[in-house]
A = this chain, B = another copy of it.
């Protein structure tokens, strides 16, 4: 009878083992492998040879513990499946790859308690930096809880950067010029002759939403056009949220000639809703979004939007967080969006 199948669980190769087969002390082995100090050439060769003969892989935990350094950063976003976050995350990954840092990515799925939980885990991991992507949560209690997590982390030497989010704490920030962008978009839409607008807005009092809405209003106001409150419909920051909001807007009537969705993702839903209501875009109704996520170029018609350099913003956030020397002041990188007029908006009449 044969033994039950075994999992031999070979122990890991340690630095001591490497040192022993190389015939040097662990101290020397460490120095040789890390290049911390000059080591006699022969010993260096011997250590290296031993290391890859044994297939030595340093234990990152031991390294982190001993040296109080660490090669990981954390990223917290709402959902990687959302193209907006995916694009930003991709930029972060690119920068991380160049720096040789490992990224711990967490999706909150829009649950504030998860954001806090993850932050705590990242603190436990002693992540060099934490990036918070996307708007925060409306509830001031959660924001306070977040700050309570963030403050000691910062004091402990952690770096924090946020993207598209306002913080009360002084942390590095990558911030789209939402107001200006939306205002510019409004002007572009006005230039097409539109006067009757509708807006699909995001949830609650997210600053991103508030800014884009305010900017849009301001752009209209410059031309003396007013946006009635009834013309603004709130929805979730998702494709389906956009669909619902657009449907609601149509239900409310009278139908605007042009609709602005505060994010492209919502605009995607809106486009579907309009179609399902038998409306042609842009002939019957124009539609514009914000962000310029890659997929909107593939829509029919391609979406007019305010383009944000999403992957660049991701890069910038990590670069900001990990910059050396660490400046005394936190930095704010302002990103100006660029209006891209595409076929989803047409001139009226």
Cβ B105 vs Cβ A311 within 8 A: no
Q: Quick check: B59 and A124 within 8 Å, CB to CB?
A: yes
Q: Does A126 contact B (CB under 8 A)?
A: yes
Q: Taking A10-B155, A12-B156, A86-B80 as contacts, is the C-beta distance between A102 and B106 under 8 angstroms?
A: yes
Give complex CA distance A12, B272 in Å. Answer: 52
Contact check: which of B4, B7, B9, B155 meets A8 at CB < 8 Å?
A: B155
Partner of A298, one of B70, B71, B107, B271: B271
Contacts A12-B156, A55-B152 known; list 11 others, CB within 8 Å: A5-B328, A10-B155, A11-B156, A57-B123, A57-B152, A59-B65, A61-B64, A81-B86, A83-B86, A89-B105, A104-B105
Chain B CB within 8 A of A38 CB: no
Within 8 Å CB of A9, what residues of B?
A: 155-157
- Identify the A interface with B (CB < 8 A): 4-5, 7-12, 55, 57-65, 70-72, 79-81, 83, 86-87, 89-90, 93-94, 97, 102-107, 109, 114, 118, 120-126, 152, 155-157, 239, 268, 271-272, 294-295, 298-300, 311, 326, 328-329
Give A156 to B70 CA distance when docked, in angstroms: 23
Q: Is the CB of B152 within 8 A of A10?
A: yes
> In the complex, what distance in Å separates the CA atom of A59 from the CA atom of B89?
26
A294 to B109, CA, bound (A): 17
**Distance between Cα atoms of A123 and B65 in the complex (Å):** 17
A126–B59 CB distance below 8 A? yes
- Report 25 cross-chain contacts, Cβ distance below 8 Å, ordered by A residue: A5-B328, A7-B326, A9-B155, A9-B156, A10-B156, A57-B120, A61-B61, A61-B125, A72-B125, A79-B93, A80-B80, A80-B89, A83-B86, A90-B107, A93-B106, A97-B106, A97-B114, A102-B122, A104-B105, A239-B294, A268-B298, A295-B298, A299-B299, A299-B300, A300-B300
